[in-house]
Structure 1
Amino acid sequence: MQVQVFRSPELWIIVAGYSAAVHVGKLSPAIPVFRQAFDLSLLQAGLALSLVQAAGMLFALLIGAFSAHIGLKRCLITGLCALGLASSSSLLIDHVVSLFFFRFIEGLGFLLVTLSAPAILKQICAPETMSLKMGIWSSYMGLGVCLALLSIPVLFQYFDWKSVWFFLGIFSFLLAFCCHRFVHVARPSTSFDFSAFWDTVKVTIRHPPIVCLALIFACYTSQWLTMIGFLPSIYLSHHIRLELAGVLTAGVAFVNVVGTLTAGYLMQRGMKSKQLMIFGFSMMCLGSWLALEDAIILPFALQYLGVIFFSLFGGFIPTVVFAICLNCAPRANAVASSFGLVLQVSALGQFMIPPLSGLLVGHTHDWSNIAWISTVLSATGIVIVTLLMTRYQKIA
């Protein structure tokens, strides 16, 4: 029985997503260490956080369309190997430029994994279980970041950051081998055809529901990454130890997993997508203000409850976006390109918002200004959700 579980392709695909998200989240608790090692400003720290999204910002749509023509499994394994290579090359990082370079390569690997995995799941999962499976898949970011936030500060007590990065890279290589061994999907029936590839790109960017989902997802991910990325630094500014700050932030990331799984269950039970997303954005806005209000006005317990609400109910949004994206792709071979467009627009937001937030906080010396950014993004998300669901009532 245990052997059969480990042979399950869904297991390795989901674990690959969690592993990729660990590489995204591992930098957040390491920012204080990196700021000291490389003399990083808050703007540079924000850039380091968001640079992992640069590959997605530039290439997600094209790689998504390309993967459908060269093979999803091949893209998944290549992505894991890219993560392994970039992370295990930590011994070569001796300057902020090399840090940024390998962070970009990690972003490329993350992109390949997160583009190909949902399309593979659609191929191998029964239709009646897709909402629940997508809820589990959608938890990859929250759980992966949670694992990073919990483990990295502890590991830093025994190892330097280069050793930790190296072992994370080796783990990615091992996962690539397991996916090669246990994941079996249909291969492309024909050789690569540029005209078919370009047609897939065009039909994707001209499909309004996918464009709207991309904007909605960007409104969610950019503010979530900003909050989670800077939260350990916020807690350190309140004289909380790094280890405790990591645990507190990991708790925030973990409840995001609970939110994604809950949304999958609620969708399986028939709850409307529109209600879940509008509620999620509303709670992110409210939670950000509670979380970042001055400690003189609100006790820390209430501030922490605010950031819990922010992450928990915000977790409704990715599950709904991914589930709708699977069903609203313009055609069967455009699923990966649809996710590519969603991730590309999202990556643009994640690339821009953290550095701008760091610049704003560095100029004003007031962390609560991040709540204004959350408010604008949440309001924009609600407007787009309303427009999308009004125009396409079948997906509401």
Structure 2
Amino acid sequence: MPKTHAMMAVWVIWLAGIGAAGQFAKVSVTFDHMGHLYPDAGARLGFALSILGMAGILLGVIAGMLVTQIGLRRTLVGGLVLSAVVSFVQAQGLSFDTFLISRVIEGLAHLAIVVSAPTVIAKVAPPERRAFSLTLWGTFFGVAFALFAWAGRPLVAAYGVHTLFLAHAIWMAGSVLAVVALRLPDDQTGLWEPFRVKSVLRRHLDIYRSPFRNAAAAGWLFYTFCFVSLLTLLPPYIPEQWRTFTVGAMPFMSMVTSMTLGVWMLRFWSTVQVIQCGFLVSAGAALLLMVLPGQPLVCLFLAGALGLIQGASFALVPDLNDTVSARADANGVFAQAGNLGNTLGTPVLLAVVAVSGYGGMMVVIAGLLLAGAAVHALLKRARAGSAGI
């Protein structure tokens, strides 16, 4: 694929990824309006957001197995089509129970996109632009939340939640047309492996045991556990006059660091070293926040350090895995780890706050970030003594 066309493909897939992250953002950033839309849902309203991640937790590895059998392009386009259809149906107005069912289906579409898209990017990006391309992909979640907060909330305030769902459907439909126009390679193996329980469990075990295929996911679990919960639980401790600015700037700071300092560091350091640096500096910032609770500059510094982990983690997958099949497996368990961290992080740290307060929360976060650096050190040692799995 010509270099110019290849980079165009990277940007198009990134824009499609923003739409995929929008599956979370469209409910998360308008959660207060969702309560008005479904006033009788009560405590069940939380499932409107969390149920989307269940597909990733349960089926992440299976999705990686399916990608190379169905084909990269087919999986990506199929996920985009399904996402567009589901958002369009949601825009028509559904009962809450039916809406939850639609969110389960949407979770499958999300999984198909986030497993296939980075695998495609790693394949089509020019070698000298691969680190940049995958670091760009790593920003899709933060960009989506910023976009939906800045543009989505005013749209909902003016025209209602269903209008946002319709806008999301249009975005995903446009992504379908753009991706199809790229004529991407498909990489279908043509070999269909029957999905028996024993073979699926064996595949899970093989991936979890491989220090090559599970490396990015192992660190990503610690990152997602901390990042989303920090954005959720830190705001009450930030001075009120700086709170809105700081919370909005933290994801942006993470993206900027990832695309600038992170890309520059990857020219001189290994991907694992950049990730470990991000974990270690983030842990130091978390401990500093224990001494200076909610200090805005330290919050932004912490977010910037976390950005080093964000971009380099996606770049690590093709660094350690040469084949499309291995990369799909790695991205499958990557999605699984990310959804697990996003799901567990906030409730676990809320429990920590209830027991030991703000200081206890920051100590636990610092410990988890140090553990992320340590896991990468252990996996690096395991790779040095292994021929690969």
Quote the Cα distance in structure 1 between the aligned partners of 2:219 and 2:172.
30
Query: Using the alignment, how far apart are the partners of 2:54 and 2:355 within structure 1?
Result: 27
**Structure 2 residue runs without a partner (length 5+):** none
2:336 aligns with one of 317, 326, 344: 344
Aligned AA for 2:370?
A
Matched, 1:326 2:324: no
Cα distance, 1:383 vs. partner? Answer: 1.8
Asked if 1:219 is matched to 2:222, the reply is yes
Paired position in structure 2 for 1:92: 93
Q: Please give the per-residue CA displacement for 1:190-249, whole angstroms capped at 9, x wherever unaligned.
A: 2524389968666433312333432211100122122334567x48x98789xx84x653
Instruction: Please state how far the C-alpha of 1:310 moved relative to its aligned partner.
Output: 2.4
**Equivalences for 1:78-157 in 2 at 5 Å?**
78-88=78-88, 89-95=90-96, 97-157=97-157
Deviation at 1:354, TM superposition (A): 2.6
AA matched with 1:192? W
| Matching residue's letter, 2:308 | F
2: distance between equivalents of 1:264 and 1:179? 28
1:383 aligns with 2:384: no
Q: 1:63 to 1:364 in 2, by over 3 A?
A: same
Shift of 1:348: 1.7
What aligned pairs does 1:196-215 form with structure 2 within 5 A after superposition? 203-215=206-218
Deviations 1:236-289 (A, max 9, x none): x98789xx84x6533221122112213552344212334422332234334456
- Relative distance call for 1:354 and 1:51 in structure 2 (3 A) is farther
**Which secondary structure does the structure 2 equivalent of 1:374 belong to?**
helix
Are the equivalent residues in 1 in contact too, given 2:29–2:153 (CA < 8 A)?
A: yes
Which of 274-283 and 250-259 deviates more?
274-283
Q: Using structure 2 for the length normalisation, give the TM-score.
A: 0.82
Residues 358 and 162 (structure 1), Cα distance of their counterparts in 2 relative to 1, 3 Å cut: farther
How far off its partner does 1:115 sit?
A: 0.6
- Once the two structures are superposed, residues 330-361 of structure 1 have per-residue CA deviations (whole angstroms, 9 ceiling, x without a partner) of 74422111110122122222222233345666
Contact 1:287 1:308 in 2 (8 A): no
Change (3 A) 1:157 1:325: same
Could you say if the C-alpha distance between residues 12 and 330 of structure 1 is closer, same or farther in structure 2, counting changes exceeding 3 Å?
Answer: closer
**What does 1:174-193 align with in structure 2 at a 5 Å threshold?**
174-193=174-193
TM value normalised by structure 1? 0.81
Q: What is the aligned partner in structure 2 of residue 22 from structure 1? A: 22
Q: Report the counterpart of residue 276 of structure 1 in structure 2.
A: 274
The answer to whether the 8 A contact 2:23-2:106 is kept is: yes
Matched position secondary structure for 2:28? coil
CA distance in 1, matches of 2:378, 2:229: 26
On the 8 A contact 2:217/2:334 being kept in 1, the answer is yes
Q: Distance in 2 between matches of 1:279 and 1:151?
A: 34
Would you say 1:317 and 2:309 are equivalent positions? yes
Q: CA deviation at 1:101?
A: 3.4
1:248-263 equivalences under 5 Å are: 248-262=246-260
CA drift of 1:63 comes to 0.9
Query: How many equivalent residue pairs?
Result: 379
Deviation at 1:307?
2.5
Cα distance in 2, alignment partners of residues 240 and 290 from structure 1: 21
Deviation at 1:8, TM superposition (A): 2.7
